Structure 1
Amino acid sequence: CDFCFIPSPLKIAHLRETLKNRKKGHRYSGGGISSHHGSDLDLNSQAAHEEYSRPAQMDSYDYDMDPKDTGPLNLGKKSQRLGKKEQPYVVVPNMRPVVFVGPSLKGYEVTDMMQKALFDYLKKKFEGRCNIVRISSDLSQARRNMPRTEENRAICEDYDRIYELGKNLQLVILDCDMINNPSQLEKTGLMPINVFIKINDPEVLKRLIRWRGRQQMRHMSVQWMAAEKLCQCDPNVFDVCLDENVFEEACEHLTEYLEAYWNATHPVLPEATHPKAFLNKLDMKVSVLLSGAAEWRRNYFKSSKCTHKAHSAQSSGESGPEKILNIFCYFG
């Protein structure tokens, strides 16, 4: 059996598709298909073998492949463009930022009023442990390696500010003007804690909008549709869903989650590994060793059998216990 040309995987797939198209054309036309050499060949046998066994006849669908290199690793320029280089991991902030969405669109009084009440509560509850940041740019367009152009300057500054605040290991609470859905932050790499303020009954939302005046009633349909869209989202998208009817209960629910997250990011060291406890234990060991060395020195000089050794040690300027103590301090 003669050795034939072994095409690349991309070449094989394209040849199979070409043979299928030729087979269909042959079926509908009823005539023979002429090959590259000008003779009528059987499609199922000779034409297929001709296509797979020709070594150097490259057509326009070879994607700029080198005829000398036809191995499986040479996929051409087009296949290189298809394989995108992605980072093996995403750099996220040290502290996940907290983002509030709902009950409707931001910029309207009902949504802004309810979110502001939660901001004021968190500011008092986590005083000294949280930073409330106002984000006016479109954070949904932010990326980790986005170009630093003049148009993206505001987005890059807000994005970098979130990462810098996360280094302090304090809660970062974002007041985003243009974020109304958790899907807007999926590709940013921020990994936020999505808090959904949910109103189960749409009639309650309509009543709240009516109480805000006629100007808000003009945009009732837009707010109602946005609230319905948020309610239809997958519950797993949100980390916290505040659907309580009482404000105090909703605050307790949110506080419980944030306190658990705070404790997870700020673990308490056990007493055995605490620096002060370790130093106290080390001082006790050193004091015991010094007292034992002093007692050994007294017994050493009192012994009549070791008088000569004691004089030689004193003449050298360093006694036996002092040598042991120096060795301990050197390795300790």
Structure 2
Amino acid sequence: YTCDCDSGYVLDTASTVCVDLDECAADYSNECDQNCTNTIGGYRCSCNQGYQLGSDGHKCDDINECSKSPGVCQQLCSNNDGGYHCSCRDGYEIQVDDNSLCYEAVGMNIEITIPMNVNNKNLREQMGKDYLELKQIVIPALRYIFSIHLLGFIDCKVTQMRKGSLIVDATASIDRNINPIAPSDMVEAIILLFENGLTINGTHYNVDVKVGNVFVNHTTDKCLILNAIEPCKDEQHCVKDSTTGKVSCKGQPEDSVNVPLAVGLGVGLPLGIALIVALSAAYFYKQKLKAEKRVHHREDQYNENDRTSTPETMSNLTLGEGDTLKTSGKMADKLSLYP
């Protein structure tokens, strides 16, 4: 006789007993696309995160996370093999602590010159040891100075470092939803950075600061710094608050003296026209009453004094050739009043 085993088992020739076959072992092949889990008499396939098991039970298909509802990203989603990537629309940035969320960002690019001797440092290789070590001590110093002066401060990133003492190009970001006057506060923070300097690794340094093409010093116009951070819109201009000393962009609707003029014209002009119409109507009505009173007065007068024509007087009236009959009294007046 011969012994045989069911699928998923193998014959132990020494004992003629069927034992489980580990299909997931390296010595055997299986049809799993990614992961294999051995079971008694068989095996089970599974997939890595970002994939789902196909209908055949072996193949792993990519999951399109961007098609899920609700969406996995607050704004923009890009699907890739085994995962996805969130991004934000213009004017927004990914939150540091949650890369699925975006915040309305106000950013400023600044150049800071630190009188630090870095002649023996290799700053051309951004992934090199010297560059990374310097970056590791500069970023915390910048984050500290901005975090204490900027409400809604999110992060400060160093984009480049180069020699000339140590020149650092950095970008600071603020959440506008938390701080609606972020550009104004950035101006103040930059001036304080110039005035107070930086403490790096326990050593204090006086620094030079540049925003865009504006070099910051004790006499720099704050409006120049503001417009280097975020230019005022066409209908706006930079205004300095007389109480706080802060600068901000103000628009014509709030500051222009034409606003009360426009309001006055909008309300007063229709009222003036209505008044003129009312006065004109009253004048003509008054004139009409005067004319009616004059007619009534004359009618009353002639009712009392008018002479009555008789056949005798009419018979004594002789008209010569070319003569015209003239009327007098009440009839004459009526003809003049009602031509």
Query: If each structure's strand is expressed as a fraction of its own residues, which one has the higher value?
Result: 2
> Fold-level match, TM-score > 0.5?
no
Query: If each structure's helix is expressed as a fraction of its own residues, which one has the higher value?
Result: 1
TM-score, length basis structure 2: 0.29
Q: Which has the higher contact order (CA 8 A, sep 6+)?
A: 1
